[in-house]
Amino acid sequence: MDWDKLRIFHAVAEAGSFTHAGDKLSLSQSAVSRQISALEDALRVSLFHRHARGLILTEQGETLNRTVRDVFSKLALTEAFLSESREKAAGKLKITTTTGFGQSWLIPRLDRFLRTHPDIIVTLLLEDDDLDLSMREADVAIRMHPPHQPDLIQRHLADFPVPVYASPEYLAEFGIPENVEDLAAHSLIGFQGWHPPLPNANWIGELLQERTGQGPRRFMEINSLAGMANIISNGAGIGALPLYVSSSYPKLVKLLPDLPVPAVEAFFVYPEELRTSKRVSVFRDFLVAEINTSRHAASREDVTHLARETA
């Protein structure tokens, strides 16, 4: 089998269409289609069901794609090892994390990492759904929950509380709620999306419903924690935000200080094969140092249980 045709086949299988695969590979739709047809002719099987909405892998196509994914993931890992210097961290590092953590916490700090390690080429993937590290969809992940896969190394980074906030302008106009029940007279901002970036994203609204049997005066939902923070900071309402998001909005006022709040567990996760990678270790150390700096800048109850490592 021709390696180049297999590479194109894999791109088509992942993209679900000749056009999208062609965009990724910088090839025309017709060129991609010809390569797939040639591969099918060589194998004497149909790899895709073609229909108006796109392409679906046949049973034979599924079998081939599983093998191809495994081969290319191992090749990517080998390339990473070969390109990495033993004396210094160098090469490509593909990082994935949630959109909220990435936009609000990591991106503002990432320049310091790049300046310190100019030989590392970073690709940052912001995705609220977990990417498969074992299939090398990313090298490392910062996740807001413990990993589910048993073959991944995890390091507990921090527990980020999720307090309730509002802007000074909102509170000046509508008053300060003294308890959960008071929130029924206010506007709440909540999260709504297919992939919640953290457990209990809407805990304050759920608590209000539980205690009073009714929702707030007005409720708005958005599928972005960073978007929630922007809306709240602009005076549209009250909402619960994890500390890693709210820390980018220092003018926000924390409400209901005596109310117990849930916390988000953040973990640094990577495959066992990358245990000795210098790129991974320097990025891990960078995260721990930055979170420790954040801890010293915050109150003791804001960030706890830092830097516990398990495997």
Taking the chain (311 residues) in runs of 10, the rounded mean pLDDT of each run is 86 89 90 91 90 85 89 75 66 92 93 93 90 86 85 90 95 95 92 75 89 85 90 94 90 93 93 88 93 65 38 36
CATH architecture of 90-160+264-310: 3-Layer(aba) Sandwich (3.40)
pTM: 0.67
CATH architecture of 3-82: Orthogonal Bundle (1.10)
pLDDT of residue 70: 83
Q: Find out whether 32 and 22 touch, Cβ atoms under 8 Å.
A: yes
pLDDT of residue 54: 78
Sequence-separated (6 or more) residues with CB below 8 Å from residue 71: 6
Burial class of residue 255, CB neighbours in 10 A (0-12, 13-18, 19+): buried
pLDDT of residue 178: 94
Q: What is the DSSP string of 73-133?
A: HHHHHHHHHHHS-SSS--EEEEEEE-HHHIIIIIHHHHHHHHHH-TTEEEEEEE-SSPP-T
Crossing angle of the two packed helices 18-25 and 3-15, in degrees rounded to 10: 120
Q: How far is CA 100 from CA 89, 141, 206, 230, 234, in A?
A: 28, 14, 21, 12, 18
pLDDT of residue 53: 74
pLDDT of residue 300: 43
| Topology match between the domains 3-82 and 90-160+264-310 | no
Alpha-carbon radius of gyration of the chain: 23
The full set of domain ranges for the chain reads: 3-82, 90-160+264-310, 165-251
Q: What backbone phi and psi angles, to 5 degrees, belong to 126?
A: -95, 115
CATH 1.20.1730.10 for domain 165-251: no
DSSP summary character for residue 163: -
pLDDT of residue 309: 34
| Cα gap 300→66, rounded to integer Å | 48
Stated length of the chain: 311
pLDDT of residue 110: 95
